[in-house]
Chain A
């Protein structure tokens, strides 16, 4: 009886590890969705509300997940309290670096945000919209790739977890 319980614990433990590993893929998918929603909110705050950048970013942080909210609040704070010469791009870069672990994004996702921040606040509304739309479409591409990868691999990793659990249980028993 004890052996059976131990075997079940081992199988379920490894199965859980498999689920945990595969959920990492889902986190990126969700985060990219969050970023897309954040950019749409930013577009609204810039075009319709006509808010200056730091306020537009702060307003875009509302209704976001805790992680994205923290990142955006940090960015907005740095923008508001920037020293005279600090560039917007550098502020986003350092805020992103600080939140890298928090956001669970890949290098190519971060590159999109950095590229987007380069032209932020430098043109009229039309060029801001173009900049945001370009970032959204690139994020969509990454999102689709991440979603496909998640669909293809999440079952695989969960199954591998269970299989390893069964294998270890057999050896131990």
Chain B
């Protein structure tokens, strides 16, 4: 991740938060994972080594008031909330640099559907973590000679599934495969105003902000991809869309939450994918002392016969 991209965050901040963050970025830009800003509580910086409070010049924790958070959120939305309403309703906003700002507050619902968020009292600025080469270890399982194998990657949250997935997309795209990415939360490509902020490869098309199940079908119909890359398969609709993709001969590389192979293969959403015989391997992602490792699991359909 380049320093310039991390520094983009500063253009949304102001006052003491901006001053102190710029100091932190200057010294430690590569190790910051999250900046958590909560109303009337200290600002927290999360790095690979843990959480620390952001301190002001007098070494006191910086505490943001509700009105300061409101103003900060207005800046994050470029003072144009209407332009980000789809993202706001999904609980995040993607900013320049591909960083994602998660929000928490009071949801305004109508017939069970979220229409807006008001009284936003928590912001989680999640620094985009583009790490080229993060998928090097996974590539030998994904790429079989000149063929792509449909693959599921699983790990608990915050291990780096999306980082690996993005790098796989980049590598297979640069290898010459047409890649279609469904990026419903803007995390893979980090799209900002139509431009990917992350390197996702030369032959990659992205549908952002659309439900994954619909985006997969749209990509197959319109962009004729060789491979579809999709993050966090978690609903039956998404599972069905993935099945229809593999049914048309398109390979799918996806991720899902899970801490062990048994848990993942027993999930009703994943079972049909494995039963289809298309996903013959699952890659388990582990993180130890900031190092990612891949554990391959071979799966056979017969496992489910009994």
A positions within 8 Å CB-CB of B: 46, 50-54, 56, 79, 82-85, 88, 121-125, 127-128
Contacts and interface: CB of A to CB of B under 8 A. Distances in A.
B79 A121 contact: yes
A51 B83 contact: yes
6 contacts: A52-B78, A52-B79, A84-B18, A84-B71, A122-B74, A124-B116
A127 B18 CA distance: 31
A85 B14 contact: yes
Contacts of A82: 79
B71 A88 contact: no
B75 A84 contact: yes
Contacts of B13: 84
A67 B200 CA distance: 44
Contact of B81 (A56, A84, A85, A124): A124
A121 to B, nearest CB: 4
Contacts of B50: none
Given A51-B80, A82-B79, A122-B74, 12 more contacts: A46-B82, A46-B83, A51-B83, A79-B79, A83-B14, A84-B13, A84-B14, A84-B18, A88-B79, A122-B81, A124-B81, A124-B85
A128 B83 CA distance: 11
B15 interface: yes
B272 to A, nearest CB: 36
Contacts of B12: 84
A54 B80 CA distance: 9
Contacts, number: 52
Given A85-B71, A124-B85, A52 B14 contact: no
B115 to A, nearest CB: 8
Contacts of B18: 84
B82 to A, nearest CB: 5
B78 A54 contact: yes
Interface of B: 12-15, 18, 71-72, 74-75, 77-83, 85, 115-116
A53 B79 contact: yes
Given A84-B15, A124-B85, A52 B71 contact: no
A79 to B, nearest CB: 7
Nearest to B71: A85
Contact of A121 (B15, B71, B80, B116): B80
A85 B18 CA distance: 12
A52 B80 CA distance: 5
Nearest to B17: A84
A46 B81 CA distance: 11
A128 B82 contact: yes
Q: Sorted from nearest, which 8 A-B pairs have the closest CB atoms?
A: A84-B14, A52-B80, A52-B78, A53-B80, A121-B79, A125-B82, A121-B80, A52-B83
A53 B83 CA distance: 8
A54 B75 CA distance: 12
Contacts of B79: 52-53, 79, 82, 88, 121
B15 A123 contact: no
A140 B129 CA distance: 52
Contacts of A79: 79
B21 to A, nearest CB: 12
Given A84-B71, A84-B75, A85-B71, A121 B14 contact: no
A68 B233 CA distance: 51
Contact of A125 (B15, B75, B85): B85
A79 B78 CA distance: 9
Nearest to A127: B82
A50 B12 CA distance: 20
Nearest to B88: A124
A52 B75 CA distance: 11
A123 B82 contact: yes
B64 to A, nearest CB: 13
A88 B81 CA distance: 13
A121 B81 contact: yes
